[in-house]
Structure 1
Amino acid sequence: MKKITIKDIAKMAGVSVSTVSRAINNDSEVSEKTKKKIDKIVLETNYHPSMLARGMVSKKTNMLAILVSDITNPYFNQLVAELDSQLIDKGYTLSLFDTQTANRIQDKKNRLTEVSIFKQIQENNFDAVLILGGLLDESNINPDYQADLTNLAKEIPLILLGRDLTHLSDNIFSLKRDQRTPTQLLVSHMIQKGYQKLAFIGGSVSTWMTHERTDSFREILAENHLPIDEKRIINNNFYAKDGYEAVTRLINSKVDFDGIVAINDRVAQGALRALKDFSISPQLKGVASCEYFPDSDFHIPRITSVDHKIPELGEKAVHLLFEVLDNESINSENLAFPIPKLIIGESC
């Protein structure tokens, strides 16, 4: 059976497509007689208007685009789930675009991937775009990519989580993440526990987050008059295998260390596995993480980590989104990063 479209409804009612769209959106300019006629046809044909049909007049489709660089990353996974649960309850449909650029070396292909997604977003009349990661996370953001963001913002509001790029456009809004405080909390705790020769592992030298956390690591060591040995700093990526490889490199290079600060829980898990394989007790080499992931609650040993309070971050993102969509003034209190919490585990 042929699927009924808005054009079919317009033809049956003897009106224009835009009039049907106005009737669907309860536009007061449509006469009651015409609206009843259209409503009757809609009911008889079991027509279900698409978001695009609803948005023809109202200019709102209740569709939102979310862009991430690797949905398998627990940070993105948890944050998208939080946004999804809140926005669906408010009648919004979310479309997820996963660029998978997190595991690729910085190159032209990464930008082309995101630009292609930007074009898809423009063609599908989304009300707003939430960009959670991708080229946004690069330490030195490509000028061409900045121009791409600016061009997209000419048509659609952009909500950026992580970096403040509001200077690019009045239609770009940012919720910045504090990467320094969680690292300061963790490193200070480890020093208080007696660790004197700390190593930092994980992350990527091309991302601003890694620079923020690594710089904070160095600063806390300096404040406590502890030596900063660059051989103990290995920025090799964000996954468990990278934690394993970093510890293997430290041990094989005979670098002296008594504790490990991992960039996140996954890297910490890899580090713990490496220590186990090298028959080194976690009591001799403490391991802790700058960023807590929920599944780590079930890891043995439980990892000492820092909770960035992602559910609260999601709530703040939703508040900012609706302030933008409703053309309200931005409440600066909603832009404050949630206060991180140190979680004491068994790994150090």
Structure 2
Amino acid sequence: MINYDFTVTKVMTEKTKPASDQLAFGKHFTDHMFIIDYHIDKGWYDGRIVPYQPLTLDPASMIFHYGQTVFEGLKAYATPQGDIQLFRPEENILRLNRSNARMCIPEIEPALALAAIKKLVQIEREWVPQAEGTSLYIRPFVIATEPYLGVAPSKQYKFIIILSPVGAYYKEGINPVKIAVENQYIRAIKGGTGEAKTAGNYAGSLIAQEKVAADGYAQVLWLDGYEKKYIEEVGSMNVFFKINGEIITPALNGSILPGVTRKSVIQLLKHWNIEVSERRIALDEIIQAYQRGELEEAFGAGTAAVISPIGMLAYNGEEMVINEQQTGQLSKKLYETLTGIQYGKIDDPFDWIKEI
């Protein structure tokens, strides 16, 4: 691996680290951050680790006007032996570059991105929390910085990585959450930006999320944008269903984000010789399975929550209670296996772990 020579400027005074029982999601930030600049004439240059600080940008920077930006999310975990490790970082970097391509942002060399993540986490290793269920969330992102009001791809960018010690994404933890089906607004369509991890996708989903949150639901389950008939994904997770013993999940169709945890769940299920089908799933199929008593489990899969059982699914004023709002055996096994690998408590037969 290439030895990238990033300059490092340390803080004069370190922040007070929050107690593990005070961690929420995305509220606290570490002492340092990584930045590298891009210019069309120079490529990516001047990689550096500096004190965490506000950015100074020209008001005409294109990120503010046309939303040319992408981001990723992954985690660093503390093992019982005191080591720090990453879970499948190469997959996140590959997805970052797929998002870059969709948003007309230049590719970042995968080895450079991984080296930057490792170096920054290594410097901030004391920020990796030790308590059960906690981790250090890693947020790489790219923003367009050229000061220009013409509608065209920017010629200048910044690739930045910030870190945040986090607790559980949902206050419910591994306990089942309540999800509401959204049938008014559209998140994405094939040919759009739904399979890219870009800011506008999330901004466009906020109105639906606020609506269901007011009724006590944790997340929105999105339907397809053409017919509003087929299940796509939950706001922050891919979704799986267990119906009469069969595991099904919506196939990647150009409008669904290809989740790293989703991919890991599918690999685990196949490793356990459990059949899993990736296909188009109509909401009516789920409703009919529920009415027949065959909807055994439903769960979301994503970096933030890992596995989040769905205990209630609401649609058109009706609430479908799944598995008596209890965590299903498969959901529990997947959660315990994935987190066991992530925290170094069980063997990793897939070479998913990368040590810092």
- TM-score over 0.5 (shorter chain): no
| TM-score scaled by length of structure 1 | 0.25
- Pick the structure with greater CA Rg: 1
Higher RCO structure (Cα 8 Å, ≥6 apart): 2
**Per residue, is there more strand in 1 or in 2?**
2
**Per residue, is there more helix in 1 or in 2?**
1
